[in-house]
Homo-oligomer: A and B are copies of this chain.
Amino acid sequence: MVKIAIIGAGSAAWSSRILVDLILTPSLYGSEVALMDINEDRLNLIYGFSVRYAREYGANIRFTKTMDRREAIRDADFVVNVALAKGHGFYGRLIEISEAHGYYRGINSVEWNMVLDYYTILGYYQFKLALDIARDIEELSPGAWLIQIANPVFEATTLVSRETKVKTIGLCHGHLDYVNLVKTLGLNPEDVDVEMIGFNHVIWLTKFKYRGEDAYPLIDEWIAGKAEEYWREWRKSQWNPFDIQMSPAAVDMYRVYGLFPIGDTVRGGTWKYHWNFETKQYWYGPLGGPDSEIGRGIYLAFLDMGLATLREALADPSKPLANTVPPVMSGETLVPLIDSMVNDKPGTYQVNVLNGDSIPGIPSDVAVEMPVIVDGRGVHRLSFNQLPPRIMKYVMILRLMRAEWALQAFKEGGRDSLFEWLIIDPRTKSTSQVNNVIDAVLKAPGNEEMARHFS
């Protein structure tokens, strides 16, 4: 069949779900899955999990493991990049350093990019890794698809698509949050027809139909009649910082920009929603959303718990792994998408690819997130209406500008790249503040390579 390389497979919580999806997809049996990570312990963990789960389930998939990226990529048909170079701890320290200089939640957090592990101006290591992987593909498995799942999907997909010949798709599960909207309105997701387009983490509900009728009036009714009560309950019981699809922030964005924001879009916005923890609580609930100091802590704890759960399950050979990760499809689109390509099963997928002329008013060489048709011949773009002027001007141009700046900074380097980024930031009060935070970030332990790049 095919060879699927997973770079950064030690991202165990996420990988385990994907690997179970593969194990549950008989039309991909006979394939090889090359697990690669630079963390040997995590690599062994996910390898052990995969081999045992496949055996318990009776799936004919051959798993291999390696710490050599090039070995994993050689002759692959699909290369899935889920790696976070440097890891969460490193970036946590950069956030602390930034905050000491007046940049709440770090210099990387800017308008419409408040998602803490979406590294743009700090994306140096992520961009370099994505590009290195793509260069490896050009050399070792030309023709393979690169599936970019590691953030920042928007910038990384744009970069790799511009700079290499590799067929690249960015994938993000954030859009699936539309289901929370649908369920909160009391609708059956199966009767709903939705379309969401934009940039990754900045997507808007451009079509919302319920049994063939425009369902936006149902959102308006919910806001007018039920939102207050919903928020009262939600404020009392919110335990998941990601539970913000129906938050006051989302409703306010809808009021201002005219379309409902979906998924991680809600985490963005201007500093209006993010000045400080109290502001975040007002808009995102008691935990302040996933990007507050509390929210990020919970998120990292979720990741640790996922890892611990896997370890525990593997430690006891007597209990089937299906007790821990049940044998049901995760809802992630990666494996179905690969299945569509390998077995020529046409399907519609929400992906990030260069715009071409799909969304009017957005340059052709910028990655947009939108539904496409995928089949054995690859990705087939559709055409969409222009986004409304308010969204184009106040949101998309602004977000695109930051993407271009981040990529420019990566390509060109130099201290000015960081200076320009910061001198337009509302948290900046003086030129010396900018210079001081740049010095401090570049001097952070482990950041020597980035420091050279921006010196």
Q: Which residues on A are within 8 Å of B, measured CB to CB?
A: 111, 256, 270-272, 275, 279, 389-390, 393-394, 397-398, 400-401, 404-405, 408, 411-412, 416, 419-420, 423-426, 428-431
Contact = CB atoms under 8 A, between A and B. Distances in A.
A272 B423 contact: yes
Contacts of A270: 420, 423-424
Contacts of A401: 393, 397-398, 401
A351 to B, nearest CB: 26
B423 A423 contact: no
The 3 closest A-B pairs by CB, nearest first: A270-B423, A394-B420, A393-B404
A247 to B, nearest CB: 17
A393 B408 contact: yes
> In this complex, which of A256, A401, A426, A431 has the most chain B Cβ atoms within 10 angstroms of its Cβ?
A426
A401 B408 CA distance: 18
Contacts of A390: 408, 412, 416
A272 B419 CA distance: 10
Nearest to A429: B426
A270 B419 CA distance: 11
Given A401-B401, A430-B275, A431-B272, A389 B416 contact: no
A257 to B, nearest CB: 9
A55 to B, nearest CB: 52
16 contacts: A111-B424, A256-B416, A256-B419, A270-B423, A272-B423, A272-B431, A389-B408, A389-B411, A390-B412, A393-B404, A393-B408, A394-B405, A397-B400, A397-B401, A425-B426, A426-B429
A429 B272 CA distance: 10
A389 B397 CA distance: 17
Contacts of A423: 270-272, 426
Nearest to A405: B393
Contacts of A412: 389-390
A24 to B, nearest CB: 45
A237 to B, nearest CB: 27
A275 B397 contact: no
A404 B400 CA distance: 14
A419 B269 CA distance: 13
Nearest to A398: B401
A431 to B, nearest CB: 5
Contacts of A400: 397
A118 to B, nearest CB: 18
Given A389-B412, A393-B408, A397-B401, 11 more contacts: A111-B424, A256-B420, A271-B423, A272-B423, A275-B431, A389-B408, A394-B405, A394-B420, A397-B400, A424-B426, A426-B426
Contacts of A411: 389
A51 to B, nearest CB: 48
A202 to B, nearest CB: 15
Contacts of A398: 401, 424
A424 B216 CA distance: 29
A138 to B, nearest CB: 24
Contacts of A424: 111, 270-271, 398, 424, 426
A416 B253 CA distance: 11
Nearest to A401: B397
A169 to B, nearest CB: 25
Contacts of A430: 275
